[in-house]
Amino acid sequence: MPDNVPILSFIVLIPLAGALMLLLLPKDRGRLARISAIVFTGLSLLFAVWLYADYQPAFGGAKYEERAAWLSIPLNLEAGLRDQGVVSYRLAFDYHLGVDGISLPLVLLTGAVSLMAALGSVHIRKRRKAYYALLLLLQTGMYGVFLARDAGLFFIFFELTLIPMFFLIGIWGDYGREKAANRFLVYNGLGSAVMLLAFLLLVATLGFRADETADGTILTYSGNYDVMLANLSDPNAAANAGGALSFTGGLKWSVFVLLLVAFGIKVPIFPLHAWMLRVHAEAPPPVVMIHAGVLLKMGVYGLIRFAGFLLPAQLEAAAPAIAALGVINVLYGAILACVQKEFKLVLAYSSISHMGIVLLGLASLSEIGFAGALFQSVSHGLISALLFLVVGSLQERTGTTRLTELGGLARSLPFTSGILLTAGLAALGLPGLSGFVGELLAFLGLFATMRWPTVLGVLGVLLAAVYVLRSVLAIAYGPLPARFAGLKEARFTEALPMVALTGLIVLLGVYPSLLTDLMEHGFAGLLRELQTRAGG
């Protein structure tokens, strides 16, 4: 790849360009809007695959880093700072993008799920231009979250995802769409406010840089993530920067708890999960593909990137509590999934359970556990996207997704039922499929230090077999209601993303090193900090 190609900006901005282009189309050109959305999502995915092919894990992503001055605000230069030789004092936020072995798998996941959701939106009939424009805007926000290396830019991209999701749920959802959209906005808005407070504290304590010039010292406070990491490991950084606010143990714990709450709402962590259930039940299936497949992973990524790397001591001390929360997620979600009569709610509680496995991987504080948490995030993203793609196909043809009203669909919809069975087997962790790899790595990482949480987590996986098989059997087998006898099989535009997602699930199940090799050096800095503390 040529060094002068701003590939990260291309990945982020191509969907935005597509959204702006769609706004210029006449409102009655719905088919052209759909084709354009598929082209732009596919083009951004191609750049993401190009980045993956060129990425060298051993050298990291330094050569892909992109930076430009964005916002600079002069601050009051007090007499005390002048006495210390400070000639310039400012607050700055930069357009700063970067990639590493943690963010790249999630970038690929975003591209794949977004394209499949655009293809699977064939059921959308009203206001298609607005729908696809919002879908592309949402994709820009998701890419930006995973690639931003500045806290301010990260926050803006994070907030950008809320706007299109609110309208996608509220306009194109089912009967309770307004309540679902409002609940989504309230909960996630609250999480964003908490995250902003945590980021302001990080900027005020870790985000400073002192540059020596011939005229004196230029003191800058910024959201630069790399500067925060450097200052974290430099005990003299605060003194060199003119006596910045000390990042003490109490303040560190305050920031850690704020980040845990902010990103815990997104994951979601029990008891901050109620909003997600309504979104899964009421939002249109292609939108839930993105929500369950990618948006929940933004919470996981935020926990790793900010709570983990910037506060490793607090992560280590809180590991038992995080493991307990993970166990609660796993068992709570699995038990309630077993008794649901609405298939969408089965999948919603299943997502809570599977994200609990991610928390268990993070609580392991080990390389294999961290890799398992990230692999599980990608795997669950693909599996949940496939399951909701099937949900959309079934809902359009039958008018319902209640388990008590379905049955025998394997006779009239053999292809769709086969895909449903495969996705279900992946969700319950069948060897040879991606779900097994993520669960295995997370549990192996945790077992070395916390055996009882591991045992309880495995119990939740066993319960997954109950609710998955119960649901699949209720939908695909048994008596076929007479009104479903003449159902038509999935269209090509539905079958294509079904096959593609199934192929990715199988590929990662039999060849997991496609992702694990990327992660090999991604967690090196965090592991080094944890090992240093253990040695000390």
Quick: pLDDT tens for 84-96.
Answer: 666 667 788 889 9
* One-letter amino acid for residue 162 of the chain: L
| pLDDT confidence of residue 262 | 95
Percentage of the chain modeled with pLDDT above 90: 64
Rounded average pLDDT over 185-200: 94
Reply yes or no on whether the pLDDT at 246 is more than 70. Answer: no
| pLDDT confidence of residue 61 | 76
* One-letter amino acid for residue 475 of the chain: I
| pLDDT confidence of residue 232 | 78
- List pLDDT tens digits, range 426-464: 999 999 999 999 999 999 999 988 999 999 999 988 999
Q: Confidence band (pLDDT; 50, 70, 90) for 534?
A: very low
| pLDDT confidence of residue 236 | 59
| pLDDT confidence of residue 44 | 96
Which residues are 219's β-sheet partners?
89, 210
| pLDDT confidence of residue 273 | 87
Evaluate whether 281 touches 344 at the Cβ level (below 8 Å): yes
What's the longest Cα–Cα distance across the chain?
Answer: 87
Residues with Cβ < 8 Å from 109, sequence gap 6 or more? 293, 294, 297, 377, 378, 381, 382
Phi, psi of 521 (to 5 degrees): -110, 0
Evaluate whether 355 touches 416 at the Cβ level (below 8 Å): no
Rounded average pLDDT over 162-180: 92
Residues with Cβ < 8 Å from 471, sequence gap 6 or more? 343, 346, 403, 424
Reply yes or no on whether the pLDDT at 352 is more than 80. Answer: yes
Which residues are 67's β-sheet partners?
96
| pLDDT confidence of residue 317 | 93
Q: Does 205 or 418 have the greater pLDDT score? A: 418
Distance between alpha carbon 179 and the CA centroid of its chain, in Å?
23
Chain length of the chain? 536
Selection from 366, 365, 323 nearest residue 460 by Cα: 323
Least confident of 221-225, 259-263, 337-341: 221-225
- List pLDDT tens digits, range 39-74: 999 999 999 999 999 988 877 777 889 999 888 887
Rounded average pLDDT over 284-311: 94
Q: Is 489 exposed, middle or buried (0-12, 13-18, 19+ CB in 10 A)?
A: middle
Rounded average pLDDT over 268-280: 90
Q: Confidence band (pLDDT; 50, 70, 90) for 343?
A: very high
Question: Taking the domains of the chain in order of start, what are their residue ranges?
Answer: 7-535
Q: Confidence band (pLDDT; 50, 70, 90) for 519?
A: confident
Query: CB count, 10 Å around CB of 116?
Result: 26
Selection from 316, 94, 118 nearest residue 222 by Cα: 94
Task: Tell me: cis bond preceding 479? Omega within 30 of 0 counts.
Answer: no
Q: How far apart are CA 536 and CA 533, in angstroms?
A: 5
Evaluate whether 316 touches 450 at the Cβ level (below 8 Å): no
Ramachandran region of residue 130, left (φ > 0), alpha (ψ -120 to 50) or beta? alpha
Q: How far apart are CA 533 and CA 225, in angstroms?
A: 22
| pLDDT confidence of residue 535 | 44
Mean model confidence pLDDT for the chain: 89
The pTM (predicted TM-score) of the whole model is 0.94
| pLDDT confidence of residue 92 | 85
Reply yes or no on whether the pLDDT at 81 is more than 90. Answer: no
Q: Does 443 or 220 have the greater pLDDT score? A: 443
| pLDDT confidence of residue 84 | 62
Which residues are 95's β-sheet partners?
68
| pLDDT confidence of residue 74 | 79
| pLDDT confidence of residue 375 | 95
Q: How far apart are CA 194 and CA 204, in angstroms?
A: 16
Reply yes or no on whether the pLDDT at 245 is more than 60. Answer: no
Q: How far apart are CA 84 and CA 179, in angstroms?
A: 56
| pLDDT confidence of residue 208 | 82
Q: Which residue has the tokens 């790249």?
A: 104
* CA–CA–CA angle 132, 133, 138 (5° rounding): 95
Rounded average pLDDT over 479-501: 90
Selection from 279, 421, 303, 422 nearest residue 355 by Cα: 303
Rounded average pLDDT over 105-131: 93
Task: Tell me: cis bond preceding 271? Omega within 30 of 0 counts.
Answer: yes
Reply yes or no on whether the pLDDT at 146 is more than 50. Answer: yes
* Three state DSSP letters for 77-136: CCHHHHHCCEEEEEEEEEEEECCCCCHHHHHHHHHHHHHHHHHHHHHCCCCHHHHHHHHH
- List pLDDT tens digits, range 361-394: 999 998 899 999 999 999 999 999 999 999 999 9
Percentage of the chain modeled with pLDDT above 70: 93
* Three state DSSP letters for 224-247: EHHHHHHHHCCCCHHHHCCCCCCC
Rounded average pLDDT over 17-43: 91
Reply yes or no on whether the pLDDT at 235 is more than 60. Answer: no
